[in-house]
Structure 1
Amino acid sequence: MKLKIERSALLKSLGHIQSVVEKRNTIPILSNVLLECDGTQLKLAATDLDLAISEAVEAEVMAPGGITAPAHTLYDIVRKLPDGSQVQLSYDAESQRLTISAGRSRFTLSCLPREDFPVMSEGDLPHSFAAPAASIKRLIDKTRFAVSTEETRYYLNGIYLHAANDDDGGAVLRGVATDGHRLARFDMEQPEGLNDMPGVIVPRKAVGELRKLVDEFEGDIQVSLSETKIRFTFADIVLTSKLIDGTFPDYSRVIPEGNDKIMEIDSKQFAEAVDRVSTISTEKTRSIKLSLSGDNLKLSVNSPEHGTAKEELAASYGADEMEIGFNSRYLLDILSQIEGDLAQMVLADSTAPTILKDLTDEGALYVLMPMRV
C-alpha cells in the first residue's frame, strides 16, 4: 500500500473517524483505524462494535492495499505536520509498519492486519428517508441535553425518534429525550417515506457523533433503519449505529394537560437572573425558588452553607400567587434552548410538572419536574 494525500484532507477525515475510537480499549484492533486505498480513493473506517464510521477521500494511489493503524496516534501525527504539506503513507508488509512522511518528517507505526478489523453487519434496513442536515441538527440540539446518563436506565440513554402527529394533527418526525427530571420534545416536518417507521432510540454516543458531522454538511442526509440499527449517509461519510434495545416510556403521560397558570417573561433576562441567583445554591440540590405574584417574579436561593440570594423580574402573570422550586441547572438547560424573546411557563401548582415553551418555535416543548425548596 502506497499513496499521497493532502494533509488537510487527511486531517479532516481522521478527525471524523478517530472520535469514534475509545481512548482505552481491551481489544487492540478497536484502537485502530482501517486504511484501504484503491483507484483514486483512500477509505478510512473505525468502530467500537456499537458504532461504525467510514469515509472516502481523494488520494493519489501508487500501490493499492490496506492496513490498520493506531487511530489517535495517526491523527496526532497528521495534526502536527506542516499545513499545506503532502503526506505519503506507505506500508511495508515485511516489517508490518506504516511509514508516514511529509517534508523532512518521517514516522513509523506498528500495524495490525486489516483481516482482523471487525465489520459491523448492517443487515436489511427496510425504512429509509432523506432529511435536511439543518433540521436534524436542530432536533438534536433541542433534545439531547435531556438525555439520561444513568446507565441503569439504559432505555433513556438516547433520543427517541418516531413518526407522530403534532397538536394540530400534522405529520411530524419527533425526537424526545428525558432523564426523569426534565423532558425535551421537538417536532420537525415529516420527511417522505416515514409513515411505517418504527420508533427507535438512537444512543447518546451516536447522537454526539452525528451532531459533529451535520455541522460541516449542507443538504439532505439519507437515513436508513431497521428495529436494531440506523445508518446516516452523507456525501462521502457513512455513520452506522446499533439502536438501544429497550422500550421508551410513554412520555405523553408526563406532559400535563390541566395546567392553567401562564407566566410569560423575557427569556434572556430570566436565564441571566437564574444564573446569578443560583451562584450560591448548593452543588448537590442546585435548588431555586420562584415566587409568582401579579406582574412580578421573585427568584430566591437559601443555602445553609453560603447564605441567601434574591432577585426580582417583571413578568406577565395573571393567576393566583404561587411558589415553586426547580433545579436551577435543569431550568438553565431549557432556557438556553429558547431562541425567542419570550419564554412561557404553564404551571398548575408547586408539585405538578411545569411546561416551558418558546413562543417563536411551535415545534419545541419542554417539561420540568419541580422540587421541594
Structure 2
Amino acid sequence: MTITVYREFLFPALLKVVGVVEKKQTLPILGNILFKIKDEKMLLIGTDSEIEIRTTTDIERDDETEIAFTVSARKFHDISKALPENAQIHITIDDERIIIRSGRSRFSLGTLPAEDFPSLEITPADYSFTVEANFLKRLLKHTHFSMGYQDVRYCLNGLLLDLTSERLRCVATDGHRLALSEGPITCEQERQILLPRKAVQELIRVLDNYEHEVTVETSLGFCRFKIGETIFTTKLIDGQFPNYQRVIPKNMENTATFARKPFKEAMLRSAILSPEKQNGIKLTFTPGELQMEATNTEQEDAFEELEIEYNGDEEVTIGFNVVYFIDVLNALDCENVVMEFENSSSSALLRDPDDNDRLYVVMPMRL
C-alpha cells in the first residue's frame, strides 16, 4: 500500500505526539509511533505507557485496506522536519519496512508489529467539563514552574486542578514555593485532579495554537483532554495533594510595592554571585528603599539598592532563594509587584496588584 500526505499536515501531527516518546526506554516499541490507516485518515499515537497522545491527519491512498504499523518516532520526525515545507510525501508500507519518498529523496525505515504497541486501558468517564483552551493554558503556564521534581513526596511532582462549581484553580508547590492561578468556570460538582509533571508540560505544548473549547474527562486513575482532533490521556497521581490553603499567608503586616522589571534585573545581576547550591539572596526592607545582597563561598559579593514603597516602620531582612523569585517575576507580566510578609522568618506572598486571581508564595531561607 502507498499513501500520500502533505508535509504541512503531517509534521504538525508528528509534533503533537513525538514529545511524549522518551528518548531512552526499556521497550524498543515505546520509541515508536503507531500509525493506523483507515478511510482517508491516518491516526498517529505516541505513548510512554503513562501518557498517550492521539491525533489524525488527512491522507490520499491507492486502496481501501486498513493497515497499522509502528516506526521510530525520532527518525520519522527528523525526516519530515528536514523536508521542504510544501513537500508531498509518499509512504509505501511493506511487512517489516516503510519506504518514504519525496521529490528525489528516499528513506527506508524498519517497523515493529502494531499489535505489540501498548495502549492505556481506560474505563468510561465518570466526570467531565469544558474549558476554553487559552484559559486553561494560561493557568497552567502561571503555575507549572512550581511543581516538584523527583521529590520523595510524590504528590508534589505534579499540578492540582481544583474544581468548584464556579472556579477552576491550578496549584503547584515543591514545598519551598507555591503558585496559584484561578478563574471562573461552570461545572457540575467539585473535583480535584492531580496531573503528573510530564503530563502538564506536554499538555501546555499540545494546547499551543489551539483556541477552541477543550473537553476534560476523568475516569478511575486517568484524565483525558479532547483538544480538537487530538486526544491527550494521562494517568493521574494517586495520592492526596497537601492542603495548600494553610500555606498561603493571610493578613500580613508589612507590604512592599516595587517595579517588576528593575527588581528582576537586579535579581539577575545579584544571582551571578549567589552561592551555587543555595542560590541565597538577602533582602533588607527599609522605608522607601530595598537593599539586595548576595555573597558566595569565595567571599565575593553583590549589592543592589532599589526604590520601593514600603509601609513598615522597622527594618526587616529576609533570605530567599533567588531562582524562586526570578521564576515568579517571569510568570508575572505586570508593571508593579506587591510583596507581603510578616517578619524576617516569614514566607513572602507576591502578587499583581490588579489581578486577584493569582498569587505566589516563596518560603524564606537561612543565610
TM-score > 0.5, shorter chain as reference: yes
Query: Paired residue for 2:173?
Result: 178
Q: Determine if contact 1:288/1:326 at 8 Å carries over to the other structure.
A: yes
Aligned residues: 364
| Counterpart for residue 335 of structure 1 | 329
**Which runs of structure 2 are paired with 1:3-152 in the superposition (5 Å)?**
3-63=3-63, 64=65, 65-93=67-95, 96-152=96-152
Contact 2:122 2:219 in 1 (8 A): no
Q: What is the CA-CA distance between 1:51 and the residue it aligns to?
A: 0.3
Number of the residue aligned with 1:285: 278
Flag structure 1 segments of 5+ consecutive residues without an equivalent: 166-170
CA displacement 1:45-91 (0-9 Å, x = unmatched): 11111100111111102233111111111111111123311101111
Moved more, 139-148 or 155-164: 155-164
DSSP 3-state at the match of 1:196: coil
Task: Let me know the Cα RMSD of the aligned residues.
Answer: 1.3
* Structure 1 counterpart SS, 2:216: strand
AA aligned to 1:107 is F
Superimposed CA distance per residue, residues 17-41 of structure 1 (whole angstroms, 9 cap, x where no aligned partner):
1111100111111111111112111
Q: CA deviation at 1:150?
A: 2.5
One-letter amino acid of the structure 1 residue matched with residue 341 of structure 2:
L
- Kept in 2, the 8 Å contact 1:200–1:227? The answer is no
What is the alpha-carbon distance in structure 2 between the residues aligned to residue 199 and residue 61 of structure 1?
Answer: 45
Is residue 305 from structure 1 mapped to residue 307 from structure 2 by the alignment?
no
Q: Which residue of 2 aligns with 1:168?
A: none
Q: Deviation string for 1:81-132 (max 9, x for gaps)?
A: 2331110111112xx1111111111111111111111121221212111111
Cα offset, 1:227, TM superposition: 4.6
Match of 1:363 among 357, 361, 364: 357
Per-residue CA deviation, residues 164-215 of structure 1 (Å, 9 max, x unaligned), is: 48xxxxx31011000011000111212x2x2424211111111111111111
Aligned 1:255-274 pairs, distance under 5 A: 255-274=248-267
TM-score by length of 2: 0.96
Is 2:225 the partner of 1:223?
no
**Paired amino acid for 2:365:** M
Q: Summarize the Cα distance change of 1:184–1:206 in structure 2 as closer, same or farther, 3 Å threshold.
A: same
Q: Alignment partner of 1:359: what SS? A: coil
**8 Å CA contact retained: 2:53, 2:232:** yes
* Counterpart AA for 2:305: E
Distance 1:164 1:118 in 2: 35
Partners in 2 of 1:227 and 1:273 — Cα distance?
Answer: 48
- Name stretches of at least 5 consecutive residues in structure 2 with no aligned partner: none
In the alignment, the residues of structure 2 paired with residue 150 and residue 173 of structure 1 have an alpha-carbon distance, to the nearest angstrom, of 26
- With over 3 angstroms needed to count, the CA separation of the structure-2 counterparts of 1:196 and 1:72, relative to structure 1, is same
Q: What is the CA-CA distance between 1:303 and the residue it aligns to?
A: 2.3
Distance verdict in 2 for CA 1:151–1:325, change over 3 Å: closer
Moved over 4 A (4+): none
Contact 1:198-1:227 within 8 A present in 2 as well: no
Q: Which residue of 1 aligns with 2:200?
A: 207
Q: 1:346 aligns with which of 340, 344, 347?
A: 340
